[in-house]
Every structure is written in C-alpha cells, then in structure tokens.
Structure 1
Amino acid sequence: MKRKVISQGHNTLTMTLPSEWVKKFNLTRGSEVDVVEKDNGLFISTEKNDRDRKAEIDLDGLDIPTIWKYFMAVYREGYDELVVRHSPNQKLESPYKYFCRHDADVKYQSEEISALEFVHELVNRFIGFEIISHDDGSVLIRDMSEPSSKEFDTSLRRVLLLVQQMSEETFEALDSSDSKILKHIHDVDINLDKFHDYCIRILNKIGHKESRKTNLLFSTLFYLESVGDEFKSISHHLLFDFNNGNFEHVIDISESIKEQLELYFKLFYKFDREKIIRISEIDKNRYFGVKSKFKETETNEEREIFHHLRIIARYINTLTELRIEMEY
C-alpha cells in the first residue's frame, strides 16, 4: 500500500497508519509502536504483534534423536516459551548419548535419568533457554535472552572460530598420525552446534541488520556447520576406526583444504579479490590431481578420509560463492 508523507511544521514529516491495522491492535492516540529501519524501508510493529510465541512438546513415544529434532525446530524458529510434557517417573537415557557414534566415548553414555534431568541437559545446549518451573508431568522453559544484531555478530564469529579450531586439530592429527589430539572434538562440535542454532534463532526472530543478507547467512551457517560435521566424522574415524594409521596419500589434499579454509576465514571479514583467486587456483590444481591421488590410496581408511575431505572442498567452494554474493 502507498501513503502520502505530510509536512507538519518545519522539520516534521508524518504519515497515516492503515485504519484496519490500527483497529486490529487497538491503537489510540498516545500508543507506542516500534519502528525499525531496514535498508531502504521501515518496519512498524506493536507490542501485541511482538507477543510471546508458545509451543508444546510431549516426550511420550519419542526416541532421543526425534526429541532433539523437536527441540531444535522450536528453538531455531524463535519460540519464546516451551512446555515439555512427560509421564510421571519417566526415565530416559542421556540426550547426548545419541550424538556419540562409538561405545568408546562413554562421557555422555550415562544410566537412565529422570525426565527433569533429561530436559536440564537439553536446555543447557540452547543459549537463552532456562527452566522456569516444573511439576510431575511437565517442564516450563522460557527464553531469557534479548536477541540483537550484536549478539548475532558475536555468535557468528564464534561459529567461524570453532570450525577453524576443528580444522586445525584434525589436520594436525593427520600430519602427526596422533589421534589423541582429537579426544575432545565432540565437545567442540556441541559448542559449534550451540552457536549455530543461536544464530539461526536470531535471524528468524529479527533478521539481519542488512536484510538482503539474511538468506545468504542462513545458507552460510548451514555449510559452516556441515564443514564441522565432516571434521567430526574424520576425527571419529581417526580416534576409533583406524587409530594411528598411515595417511600419507591424503596429506596433499588436506594441506590444500587447510590453505583454502585459512583464506576463507580471512575473506569472510575482509573481502579480498586476490584471496578468491587463490582459493579458485587451489581448487583447480586439486581437481586435476585428485583422481591420481585417489588411485594412490592404499587402504580403505585413507579412502574414507579422502571422501570427507572432498566433501569439505565442495563446501568451501559454496561458502566462497555465498561470500561473493554478500558483497553485491
């Protein structure tokens, strides 16, 4: 809809609000509205329009991976209040058990715990969520944070730093054939997922200060988290499946990916045409040598690592494309 701008006095310009919208939210003279500037537009909202969003989850009949899916969906979508219902005296395994693929990692594989303890462990994974009250059959959770552009920027930087940490430690383990470096990689990945989800939540609740970048940042976060998952998979293989194996035939591809990631992390915060050219050169050189390198791999262990590294290489290309798009 269009509205005419009216001059009132020497320095004041006003416009009328749509009458149906005013009636819907019962606005009268003196009512306050929020006005947010986004690029070349203004977004006007009322306190009622910003009312809390509420959701409910019933744990009965859900396995732990499915419970995680429900929690993450509610959290990422920006709900402010969540009621978790459960059977009295219900017992569950640790929610983190199913994030560990190997029996050797027993840190999170505790005995069954009460539903309240289970929800406590879940809530600790989601920034801003706190348990407010509980009874025999339900737990009330509320968001106690105040999402902002500053919080988004800080959390996004943390995501990048955690991916960088995972990559450096994984490459060090490959170079040295010392998998003990990676014993805490699961904790790093949980932390990465925590900040990733918080960024998604903020984008869904308030968007980005540069609204045109919102969708690009959704995609960027998805691929950064996916890169982290690939490094976690490599780390688990090194720790549990082929401990202290020989990976000399994948060192070249790992070194090229290491350089690309270092360039990308710098590129993200300071756009640089030369860095983009270098990322592309590395990719081109690797492309023509990758088939011969794969043929040189002598074991299934090397081929498995090779496979994950090639996936990471594709993700870096996509991340670079997204970064270029943000510039225009």
Structure 2
Amino acid sequence: MKRRVIKQGHNTLTITLPSKWVQRYGIQPGSEIDVSEQEKSLLVSTDGGSNVSRTTIDISNLNKSIAIWRFISSAYRAGYDEIMITGIEPGHKKLYTPFTYNTLNYMKSESDIEVMSPIETISACVNRLVGVDIIEQKGNYCLVKDLSETSYKEFDIALRRIFLLLKTESENIANGLDGNKEDLKAIHIIDTNLDRFEDFCLRVLNKKGYEIYRKTPTIYSSILILEMVGDEFKKIARHILDMEEKHSKAIKTLFKVQNDQLDRIYKLFYKFNKNLAQEIYEEDEKGTKLIKELFNELKTDEAKELVHHFKKVGIYILSLTELRIDLEL
C-alpha cells in the first residue's frame, strides 16, 4: 500500500497508519510502536494485540522418532511463537534406555523396537530448543510456547558461541589424533550445544531478520554451513574412534591445515580483511594438493573416508569465505 507523506511544522514529516492494522492491534493515541530502519524500508511493529504466530503439527502418521524431531525443529526454526502438536499416541515401548543427549542415535534402534515414545521424543526435542517449553499437555496433544524475548544482542552472542564451539571440537579432534579418545567422545555433547545455538540463530532470523535486513539470506546460509562443519567434525571423530591403525603424520598435517583455516574464517568473520580472505584461498590450494597426494597413499576405506570429511570441511570454509565477502559488500 502507498501512503502520502504529510508535512507538519518546519521539519516533521508524518504518514497515516492503516486503519485495519490499528484496529486489530488496538492502537490508540499515545500508544508506543516500534519503528526500525531496514535499508530503504521502515518496519513498524507493536507488542499489542494478538500477533502471536501459530502452527499445528499432526504427528499421527509419523512412526519414527527422528521424523517427529525434525518436524518440531523445523517449526521452531521457522519462528513460530506457539506450536500445537496433535496426534500423540501412547506408544508401545519394549526397550527402555538411560536418557542421554549425546546423540540422536538413542532414538534409533537396529530392530523394530521402539526406544522412545512419541511424548518422550517431543520432550527431548523441546528441552534442546532455546526459549520454548511445553506449557500444556492433555490427551493426544501438547502445546509448545515461546517464553522468551529475542534480541539482536542474544543473536550475536549465540553466533559467536557457534564459532567457539567449533574451535573446541577442532581442538578435541587434534587431541584425538594424538591418542586422546576421551576428547573425541565429548564431541557429541559439544555438538548438541552447537545445534541449540544454530537453531536459535535461524529462529531469530526468521522472526526478525538480520540487523541489515537485505543481508538476512547471506547470514542464514552462513549459519547453515557452520552447522554442516560441526556435522563433519562429528563424523571425523567417529571415524578416528573406529580406526585401529595409527594415524600418519600426513593426516595430522592435513588436519592442522583445516584447523588453521577455521581460525582464519573466525577472524575474518568478525574483522574483515582482504589479505586474510586471500590467505584462506591460498591455503585451501595447499590443502587440496595435500589431499590428492595423501588419498593415493591410503590403503583402507576408513582412512579414505576420514580424508573425505577433511576435504568437505575445507569446501565449507571456502563457502563461508564467499558469504563473508558478500556481507562486506
């Protein structure tokens, strides 16, 4: 819709608010509204009225815990304030396991035995989501509601935590290559926290957008790729734990290359520098050459798979570099 700008006094310009919007949210003379600048646009919003976003998920036909989990996580990321979950069946568990957050594998079973009931799956998922909780549970439904207020400051803190947790995972892998397997086992726990912050950041972007609004798709893509880096670290840790042979000096050298690249992209993200961006591209060429040389020397499929995941980390870091350049322009 278009609005004509009206001049009042010497330096004041005003526009009228749409009457339907005013009535819906009970705007009165003297009411306060939020006005934020987003490039060429102005976003006008209010805390008044019924502006709660809602969605309903029917899980009656979802017979796998992992599928229920994904649907709830997607609704959370999308930014809904209330998520109504219907079709919850009692479940017929034959196997009970200790409750653990280490990995989603505890929801899976090699047989047809149901490890977790639907409501346990919902509770486990909601417990891992920042700022929401189950506020009502009756019969075959439950209601998940946002109990917090999000801000750009919280977003910035969560985003930095993602980088720091990735650096911790990387350090644990380095220790694992030197023989400390306990550090490798801890990566699942670290990655759980990393996923929580990633989901929270994506939720904020879907609800509010990025501070520089037109950059929202770029920062959204960056967070998704950071999540994929974490997934690769988790796979690397699992391969190292499963491998019986001693890790060669070449594999340790290759990982150091990728670890150094992670340090560079972290620095670049928070303090852009053209020379540092150029250095990332140059070091990637060295890493790619080392991967080709090493791959031909490896004798086991397990070792080749490990190097493949190293390669994917390098590819993701290049993608993050491109996106960081996009943010700068």
TM-score (norm 1): 0.87
Contact 1:177 1:244 in 2 (8 A): no
1:157-187 C-alpha deviation (Å, 9 max, x unpaired): 111111111111112212x133222111111
In 1, the alpha carbon distance for the partners of 2:168 and 2:119 equals 33
Match of 1:290 in 2: 291
Cα deviation for residue 313 of structure 1 reads: 0.5
Counterparts in 2 of 1:166-185, with a 5 A limit?
A: 166-174=169-177, 176-185=178-187
In 1, the alpha carbon distance for the partners of 2:18 and 2:147 equals 33
Q: Percent identity?
A: 39
In 2, the alpha carbon distance for the partners of 1:88 and 1:303 equals 44
Contact 1:34 1:45 in 2 (8 A): yes
Match of 2:67 in 1: 66
* More off after superposition, 208-217 vs 134-143: 134-143
Paired residue secondary structure (1:160): helix
* More off after superposition, 31-40 vs 266-275: 31-40
Contact 1:65 1:98 in 2 (8 A): no
Paired residue secondary structure (1:100): helix
Check if 1:225 corresponds to 2:227: yes
In 2, the alpha carbon distance for the partners of 1:102 and 1:44 equals 43
1:130-175 C-alpha deviation (Å, 9 max, x unpaired): 121222322221110111111110111111111111111112212x
Contact 1:177 1:246 in 2 (8 A): no
In 2, the alpha carbon distance for the partners of 1:194 and 1:96 equals 12
Pairs aligned (count): 321
Paired residue secondary structure (1:139): strand
Counterparts in 2 of 1:129-208, with a 5 A limit?
A: 129-174=132-177, 176-208=178-210
Unaligned runs of 5+ in 1: 104-109
Check if 1:100 corresponds to 2:105: yes
Contact 1:261 1:316 in 2 (8 A): yes
2:312 partner letter: I
1:157 partner letter: R
Match of 2:325 in 1: 324
1:298-326 C-alpha deviation (Å, 9 max, x unpaired): 32222111100001110110101111111
In 2, the alpha carbon distance for the partners of 1:27 and 1:66 equals 42
In 2, the alpha carbon distance for the partners of 1:165 and 1:31 equals 48
Match of 1:106 in 2: none
Paired residue secondary structure (1:275): helix
Paired residue secondary structure (1:7): strand
Match of 1:249 in 2: 250
Check if 1:235 corresponds to 2:237: yes
Contact 1:247 1:302 in 2 (8 A): no
Paired residue secondary structure (1:177): coil
In 2, the alpha carbon distance for the partners of 1:187 and 1:275 equals 32
Cα deviation for residue 79 of structure 1 reads: 0.9
Corresponding residue to 1:120 among 109, 119, 123: 123
Check if 1:84 corresponds to 2:89: no
* More off after superposition, 126-135 vs 313-322: 126-135
2:276 partner letter: K
Match of 2:55 in 1: 55
In 2, the alpha carbon distance for the partners of 1:319 and 1:209 equals 19
TM-score (norm 2): 0.87
* More off after superposition, 92-101 vs 41-50: 92-101
In 1, the alpha carbon distance for the partners of 2:27 and 2:266 equals 48
In 2, the alpha carbon distance for the partners of 1:323 and 1:286 equals 21
In 1, the alpha carbon distance for the partners of 2:7 and 2:193 equals 53
Paired residue secondary structure (2:80): coil
Cα deviation for residue 3 of structure 1 reads: 3.6
In 1, the alpha carbon distance for the partners of 2:107 and 2:172 equals 20
Cα deviation for residue 36 of structure 1 reads: 2.0
1:200 partner letter: L
CA 1:70–1:307: 2 relative to 1, 3 Å: same
Contact 1:95 1:118 in 2 (8 A): no
